[in-house]
A = this chain, B = another copy of it.
Amino acid sequence: MCITQLSVTLGLLGRSGCSSVGCVHHLFSRRCSRKRAFQIAKSFLPILEWLPNYRVKEWLISDIISGLSTGLVATLQGPFPVVSLMVGSVVLSMAPDEHFLIEGSNATGTNGTGALIDTESRDAQRVLIASTLTFLVGILQVIFGVLQIGFIVRYLADPLVGGFTTAAAFQVLVSQLKIVLNVSTKNYNGVLSIIYTLVETFEKIGTTNIADLIAGLLTIFVCMVVKEINDRFKHKIPIPIPIEVIVTIVATGISYAADLEKKYNAGIVKSIPRGFLPPEPPNVSLFSQMIAASFSIAIVAYAIAVSVGKVYATKYDYAIDGNQEFIAFGFSNIFSGAFSCFVATTALSRTAVQESTGGKTQVAGIISAGIVLISIVALGKLLEPLQKSVLAAVVIANLKGMFMQVFDVPRLWRQNKVDAMIWVFTCIASIILGLDLGLLAGLLFGLLTVVLRVQFPSWGGFGNIPGTDIYKKVKDYKNVIEPEGVKILKFSSPIFYANIDGLKSSLKSTVGFDAVKVYNKRLKALRKIQKLIKKGKLKATKNGIISEPGINNEAFETDEEPEDNQDLQVPTKEVEIQVDWNSELPVKVNIPKVPIHSLILDFGAVTFLDIVAVRSIKTIIKEFERIDVRVYFASYQDNLISQLERGAFFDDTVRKDIFFLTVHDAVLYIRNQMTYSDNQDPIFEKISLMQESKEPIEFSEASQPDDELDVQEEAMRRLAS
């Protein structure tokens, strides 16, 4: 009997955990809203507070009625597929059938189906593994609670949970399918195991037991029809028809009466262990093998329980303390782990029964647990003739809702493609890698999408809507006007190591030129002019450069020609030259035009900068200043200034006067500056050539590899030095 089936059976017998966690939440958390500064001891053990205040007259009757109802539901309908399946996959991988072959039995080669299996020692080992796992999950949950990291549940995004649960449903379906068919397969585990199982099931479909198949199909059909009726007429019928219970009882009766096992070789439940196992210490040596799976299970079980708890927290207006929940589940699992129990979580259906039948406190939970205890002792024996395929069929009939989630995907794709990708990725990863690794892969994928969405933001050149102080993207709006000589770039994301290149390229694309390239070309032109002045072919005056006639027929320089450093001569006379970079030069160097004097970076959406970004932005300012474009910042967040200060952003040349509250303020300031400046056109550059000197002229030094120019690469270059 596979462990999923075992857990289903355990579930039917009500062993699969506390049925009243919703109520536990209720009482656990009421504390929070009443007294914040309660003693630590009581805060970790809320029972010390609520039990002495128990109002016997008001609550006891309700609690008893509610406890009885919940206990009955828990007895009759217990399976909780996702966590059970995750536990089951661990148990299967650590104690497969092959470990328990009886030596000398009829082992028919590799497929192992003919070999006898020592089911007793196998099941004992499996129970030990499951309870050890429960114990470890408990320890992890307590640790999570003490470290106050209940918030990690937040990373289980909605689409991730959708994909994960659909994959879980698929895994459950495959594991139950072979039971419905009564086909035996190898116990695969690890990557792709569910696919192998499915393939082998279909390969062996010829060995299907017809009696089991018919019983299973009938059960699925009946359950689905009745559930549909329950759903359609939920306002007209007082309680839903408990079809699972009815089917189970009827099928047990038929199987017993017709003796299906003997006549048709049907697979029946056969032996349900009765009574209770003595407490057994967990096998600590198994911990290292199950740590990854425990991690996933601890978080999933907790997340499910908290999500249910929050429904009632909202309804009854109290707050849930996520870390206290972790601690509560942790101790509960540590305790159960020592008594051969199963990982606990919450079932919405049972919690709803307890609440709607008037349960007030955990006393109802204790009573419902008592009912389950009695059932385990008394009822187990009666279910022994039940076909396993009927139980499996009941599980399959309940998977419909989970599979229906697949139809969410097209809608999700229309609404948000990234979220749809998270859904699909998590689903496929969970099917291929198994539920625990698949969940981890989905989590990492989800976080990566956040990084990518932050890394590749929207950006664009902005312009003014005439008559307002509002600036909008030039490409998206008609009649938006860019101020003359000013470019405005909005880069809508935090700036950090992974998108600093993106900022630079969006900058180039917005202003239309590359500041470093322009500077290098200008240097080259200046050197040529110097040479020509020296040769007497050009005259430099205060009004600019006057070319002698007949020297403009120099060959046009191509971009590809390497620069001829050797020919650079030191000039011999001091001369002041004014160069108008936007007019035609006497030397034919192809210098990109710089049609702007100011650049405004709208930092409205830049919520943080890392150290690489701070240094790179400083470099960008200096690169633009070198070609007479002044850089301003607008709409910055207040905390940005302190981040820049700490990052040694400000110095003598980069001061705080380049920061403006709004883009419009910056534009007004620039307009003002241009109007009242001393009439000197800033695109004219005055340079002074130091002459009769042996030192290379000042500006040529800047063409040396300048480490500052890309701080990000500097670290890598250290490696190469």
Contacts and interface: CB of A to CB of B under 8 A. Distances in A.
A648 B415 CA distance: 7
A314 B498 contact: no
Interface string A700-721: 0001111001111111111111
B719 A492 contact: no
Contact of A611 (B305, B346, B401, B415): B415
Contacts of A300: 719
Contacts of A719: 82, 161, 165, 300, 304, 307
Nearest to A493: B607
A317 interface: yes
Nearest to A563: B316
Given A415-B614, A450-B496, A314 B718 contact: no
Looking at chain A, what size class is its interface with the partner chain? 35 or more
A544 interface: no
A687 interface: no
Contacts of A161: 715-716, 718-719
A497 B158 contact: yes
A636 B165 CA distance: 35
Contact of A416 (B33, B453, B607, B643): B643
Contacts of A82: 719
A611 B648 contact: no
Given A158-B715, A638-B476, A705-B311, A647 B415 contact: yes
Interface in A464-480: 469-470, 472-473, 476
Interface in A125-180: 151, 154-162, 165
A447 B458 contact: no
Most buried by B among A155, A303, A416: A416
Interface stretch (A63-71, A221-229, A513-521): A513-521
Contacts of A494: 450, 453-454
A360 interface: yes
A661 interface: yes
Contacts of A351: 720
B158 A709 contact: no
Interface string A602-646: 001101101110100000000000000000000101110001001
Given A315-B703, A447-B447, A559-B33, A608 B453 contact: yes
A616 to B, nearest CB: 10
B458 A637 contact: yes
Contacts of A157: 496-498, 610, 612, 712
A158 B415 contact: no
A316 B715 CA distance: 21
B418 A607 contact: no
A655 interface: no
Nearest to A450: B451
A720 B317 CA distance: 21
Contacts of A155: 497-498
A310 interface: yes
Interface string A406-431: 00000010111011000000000000
A402 interface: yes
A317 B717 contact: no
A454 B717 CA distance: 30
Contacts of A550: none
A3 to B, nearest CB: 19
B637 A314 contact: no
Nearest to A520: B317
Interface in A452-509: 453-454, 457-458, 469-470, 472-473, 476, 492-494, 496-501
Nearest to A637: B492
A715 B162 contact: yes
Nearest to A346: B720
Which has the most chain B C-beta neighbours within 10 Å: A345, A347, A713? A713
Contact of A158 (B493, B560, B611): B611
Contacts of A80: 720
A308 interface: yes
A717 B637 contact: no
B458 A451 contact: no
A661 B704 CA distance: 47
A448 interface: yes
A428 B116 CA distance: 52
Pairs of residues from A and B, 3 with the lowest C-beta to C-beta distance, nearest first: A307-B716, A157-B497, A161-B715
25 contacts: A30-B560, A82-B719, A155-B498, A158-B497, A161-B719, A304-B717, A307-B719, A308-B716, A314-B516, A314-B706, A315-B705, A317-B517, A347-B721, A348-B717, A348-B720, A401-B718, A402-B718, A414-B646, A418-B610, A450-B454, A453-B607, A454-B494, A457-B607, A470-B662, A605-B605
Given A158-B712, A304-B719, A472-B638, 11 more contacts: A82-B719, A156-B715, A157-B610, A158-B611, A307-B719, A315-B704, A316-B563, A347-B721, A348-B720, A446-B497, A454-B607
